[in-house]
Structure 1
């Protein structure tokens, strides 16, 4: 998840420990865990509704890349 937020994965643990990771993080069974909703909000995508226009635009983009 760190890469999605523009954070170097090697530095993510240090940022979490320092309280500077860009979204909420919990620790479960010795692993850092972030909730998908928190990642979306941190990315500025706080509205997770999929819109048909966005889906079609993504399909068109993928088609051009092939």
Structure 2
């Protein structure tokens, strides 16, 4: 499972290289590649733990961007 989370974290990171994305947008993009919502959230947690991203909640919308 760790490998799948790490692989998904890499995909999230590369998507964020193009600019910030909402959590719903990231989930939508990665679901097309076979990643479920829980896996995407765990990958975001992985990147947050590594201090690679900033996660912001504004008016009920979660936005993620690279540091």
TM-score, normalised on structure 1? 0.28
Higher fraction of strand: 2
Q: Which has the higher contact order (CA 8 A, sep 6+)?
A: 2
